[in-house]
Amino acid sequence: MKQLLALLSGLLFGAGLVVSQMTSPAKVQGFLDITGNWDPSLMLVMAGAVGVHFILFRKISKTRRPIFAETFQIPKRTDLDWRLITGAALFGIGWGLGGVCPGPGIVDAASGSVYALVFMAAMALGVFAERRFLRKKA
């Protein structure tokens, strides 16, 4: 049941990304281009997501335990270090330049888009490099 719910959640998330056109790099770049031909339509997508999270997080966090787990998995770390800040900056720069972030990239790669497949390969290389070189030093 847990796997079925995860699959259905992923399919719903992917469908939402496709319907909102968040898998289109041009649409994302149009949203980020505030000095040129700005397209604010993705702001409605973000507002909807934040609104759903705002309501459901408060409701769900009042329950004693999750339905499919023993405890809630809420991060406890609140510190900011150079790795987090550098990673966030690289993510933001990549998102702005490429118009793709991991969720939409995975959905778009499933369609066979060469652009998304190249993005996924570069993302996998970045994850590998981080695990191979940076975690070894930490």
Q: Global pTM? A: 0.67
Q: What share of the chain is helix, strand, coil (3-state, %, to 5)?
A: 70, 0, 30
**54 pLDDT exceeds 90?**
yes
Nearest Cα residue to 105 out of 87, 129, 121: 121
pLDDT the model gives residue 25? 84
| Mean pLDDT, rounded, for 6-11 | 89
Confidence of residue 14 (pLDDT cuts 50, 70, 90): confident
Interval 117-129: pLDDT, tens: 998 898 889 888 8
Residue 12 burial (C-beta neighbours within 10 Å; 0-12, 13-18, 19+): exposed
**138 pLDDT exceeds 70?**
no
Q: What percent of the chain has pLDDT over 90?
A: 12
pLDDT the model gives residue 59? 92
